[in-house]
């Protein structure tokens, strides 16, 4: 699918997906549906990206770079509650001097988001999970302030060598968690004395309480 030329075209494609099951969409795209997502955790999101024409892959830019819009698939239960935290991007662990929030990958990814809810309770077979109604979102002043505050505090901890002290409880809306296929996938970081160390890659995630508030603003 070619990238959409306009935001209107993107939203028309998004509306066409609402109500479809993943199995129906997979048939349209000629894709095989995995029996479960234990080894294919990102499969649903990748399928939807393909259907909408997302083009950035894992680059440091939004999924629709020419529109400045990031796509986030949001698994929810039947009550509309997010089932998991939302991955934003990889966290830089080195070369952090003078990095500003406005220039950060997190800020660029979250400045304009197309949220696409997905009814995805574990009891529902993968092929029968239903795509919901997508919507565009920009953080308001308070949301942006909270995101910036958490990002700055987490980046300060990384810079000061506190990478191993960071827990998922840090941050009001944004958290930092290990992001690696296994415990052997290490990357460079800084220790408490500024010495080079090896650590698990980390990723930024939006907490479920925050994404639930985003949903409530739109649907309640």
Give the model confidence (pLDDT) of 165-185 as tens digits.
Answer: 777 788 999 999 887 665 566
Task: Indicate whether 98 pLDDT > 80.
Answer: no
pLDDT at 101: 94
Contact status, residue 115 vs residue 74, Cβ threshold 8 Å: yes
Mean pLDDT in residue range 138-154: 96
pLDDT at 53: 95
For 55-214, where are the E strands, in sequence order? 70-76, 86-90, 113-119, 130-131, 135-137, 174-178, 187-190, 196-199, 202-206
pLDDT at 86: 96
Task: Indicate whether 102 pLDDT > 60.
Answer: yes
What contacts 153, CB < 8 A, 6 or more positions away? 170, 171
At 118-129, the pLDDT tens digits run: 999 999 999 999
Q: What band does 37 get if pLDDT is binned at 50, 70 and 90? A: confident
Contact status, residue 110 vs residue 43, Cβ threshold 8 Å: no
- Average pLDDT for the chain: 89
Mean pLDDT in residue range 85-98: 80
Name the nearest CA neighbour of 53 among 94, 7, 98, 19.
7
Mean pLDDT in residue range 175-200: 70
CA-CA distance, 25 to 8, in Å (whole number)? 21
Q: Tell me which range, 49-58, 114-123, 187-196, is most confidently predicted by mean pLDDT.
A: 114-123
Q: Is 102 helix (H, G, I), strand (E, B) or coil?
A: helix
Q: How many CB atoms lie within 10 A of CB 12?
A: 11
Task: Indicate whether 51 pLDDT > 60.
Answer: yes
């Amino acid at each position: 699918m070619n990238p959409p030329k306009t935001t209107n075209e993107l939203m028309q494609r998004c509306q066409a997906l609402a109500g479809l099951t993943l199995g129906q969409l997979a048939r349209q795209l000629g894709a095989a549906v995995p029996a479960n997502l234990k080894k294919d955790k990102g499969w649903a999101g990748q399928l939807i990206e393909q259907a909408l024409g997302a083009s950035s892959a894992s680059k440091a830019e939004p999924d629709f770079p020419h529109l400045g819009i990031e796509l986030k698939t949001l698994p929810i239960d039947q009550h509309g509650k997010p089932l998991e935290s939302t991955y934003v991007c990889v966290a830089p662990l080195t070369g952090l001097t003078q990095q500003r929030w406005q220039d950060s990958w997190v800020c660029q990814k979250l400045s304009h988001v197309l949220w696409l809810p997905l009814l995805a309770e574990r009891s529902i077979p993968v092929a029968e999970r239903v795509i919901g109604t997508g919507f565009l979102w920009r953080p308001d002043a308070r949301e942006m302030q909270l995101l910036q505050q958490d990002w700055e505090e987490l980046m300060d901890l990384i810079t000061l060598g506190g990478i191993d002290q960071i827990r998922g409880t840090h941050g009001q809306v944004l958290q930092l968690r290990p992001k690696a296929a296994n415990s052997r996938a290490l990357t460079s970081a800084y220790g408490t004395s500024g010495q080079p160390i090896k650590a698990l890659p980390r990723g930024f995630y939006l907490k479920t309480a925050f994404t639930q508030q985003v949903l409530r603003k739109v649907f309640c």
